[in-house]
Each structure stands twice: as structure tokens, then as C-alpha cells.
Copies of this chain bind each other. A is one copy, B any other.
Amino acid sequence: MGDRLVYYAPMQPAENRSPSARERILFTAHELFYRDGIRATGVDRLIAQAHVTKTTFYRHFPSKNDLVIAFLNYRHELWRGWFISRLQHHGNDVEAICPALSEWFDSDDFRGCAFINSLSELAGTLPEIIEISRHHKDDMVNIIADILPPSAQSGKVAHAMALAVDGTIIRAQIDQSGKEALVLLRKILSALLSEETPTI
């Protein structure tokens, strides 16, 4: 596990410079929103932990909702990069999905899918979350489609697999462990592949 790239590790700017106030706010929001929930995290707490003042906070994010949207977009880029990287690390085929997810589920701070969580928490008051989540899930479909063998490129196999991944994330969250969920996911992935691979 030594080479495990924690998906939110790049909390620092790429260059060797201190994070700007805006970045500090965004990184802090990412950490606290995901860990404790959006409504459970007040702006005062964000401000204290990001070491900015209220004026600075509201200069960069005119409302908390603006920060939530920024948080989700940031999360999408982070998670996307991480997922692609881990799939490649594990062989870049369908079999890579489970070990990749396993790294995430096994991490101490796994708390389900940020998009599903935010959707559940706030979709009624911040409908933008729906569109952002849809975009995130569609991107996941594309990432999975990229690692499918040619024989599985039709019939929405990637879509079905992405849906099963969502179910797996939920199950891992409820179980507080990904062990069983990943067994089930392997079963589903395998069944979907068998259906698309003609047997002589």
C-alpha cells in the first residue's frame, strides 16, 4: 500500500508556492464538506481552518452555495484523475476497477461518493448539484468505456457497469467496508462481460 495515491493528496498547488487564500478555502471545504457534510460545516469553521477572514471568504465565494459548487467541481477533477490513474496502475482493464475502488474504500476517510452525498443533502435547495452529479457520472461511464474490450463496446455495458459501481459505493458505505461490496461488483462485471462475449 506504500504506493497508494490518496485521491485528495494533491491539496497543494502544483508549483512550489503557498496556496492562495482562495485555494485554502477550497481545500478546506473539500476536506470538511466530504468528511462531515455540507450543512454540518459552517462558514465560520471553514474560515478558521483556512486561516482567512470573512471578507476574504466572501470575496472569493459570494455565498456558501458558490463554494459548494466549486467544491464539487474540484472534487470531480480530483476523483477523475485519481480513478484514471489507479485504473492504469492496475492494468487498465475491467479487472482494474475493483482493486482501484478497494483502495478508496479502504482509506480511513472514505465516506461514500461526494456527489451522492451532496445530492441527498442539498438537491432540493441547490439544483445545480444534479447537473454536476450527472456530469460526474457520465464521465465515469466514459472512463469505464475506455477500458472495455471491443466486444463490450455496445449495449451500454459501460453504463451498466457505472451503475453497478454506484451501488457498490453505497454498499461499501453502509457496510463500512468494501469487502463484500467488491465481491458483488466483480460478479456483476463478470456477468456483463460474459453476456457481451459470445460463447461458442
Give me the interface of A with B, judged by CB distance under 8 Å: 35-37, 39-40, 111-112, 115-125, 130, 133-134, 137, 155-157, 159-160, 163-168, 170-171, 173-176, 180-181, 183-185, 187-188, 190-192, 194-195, 199
Task: Give how many copies assemble into the complex.
Answer: 2
**Residues of B close to A180: CB separation below 8 A:** 159
**Residues of B close to A160: CB separation below 8 A:** 184, 187-188, 191
> Is the Cβ of A119 less than 8 Å from the Cβ of B124?
no
> Is the Cβ of A194 less than 8 Å from the Cβ of B192?
no
Nearest to A114 among chain B residues (CB) is B120
Bound complex: CA A165 to CA B164 (Å) = 9
Would you give the shortest CB distance from A190 to chain B, in whole angstroms? Answer: 7
Bound complex: CA A198 to CA B16 (Å) = 60
> Is the Cβ of B163 less than 8 Å from the Cβ of A181?
yes
Task: Select which of B36, B163, B173, B192 is within 8 A of A171 by beta carbon.
Answer: B163
Task: Select which of B39, B119, B167 is within 8 A of A174 by beta carbon.
Answer: B119
**Residues of B close to A115: CB separation below 8 A:** 174
Nearest to A175 among chain B residues (CB) is B134
Q: Which 8 A-B pairs have the closest CB atoms?
A: A167-B167, A120-B120, A191-B191, A117-B120, A163-B167, A166-B167, A191-B195, A160-B184
**Residues of B close to A155: CB separation below 8 A:** 187
| Complex A-B: 29 CB contacts under 8 Å | A35-B124, A37-B120, A37-B121, A37-B122, A39-B121, A111-B124, A116-B116, A121-B121, A130-B174, A137-B171, A156-B187, A159-B180, A160-B187, A160-B188, A163-B164, A163-B167, A163-B170, A163-B185, A164-B164, A164-B167, A164-B188, A166-B166, A166-B170, A167-B170, A188-B192, A191-B191, A191-B192, A191-B194, A199-B199
> Is the Cβ of A124 less than 8 Å from the Cβ of B36?
yes
Would you give the shortest CB distance from A110 to chain B, in whole angstroms? Answer: 12
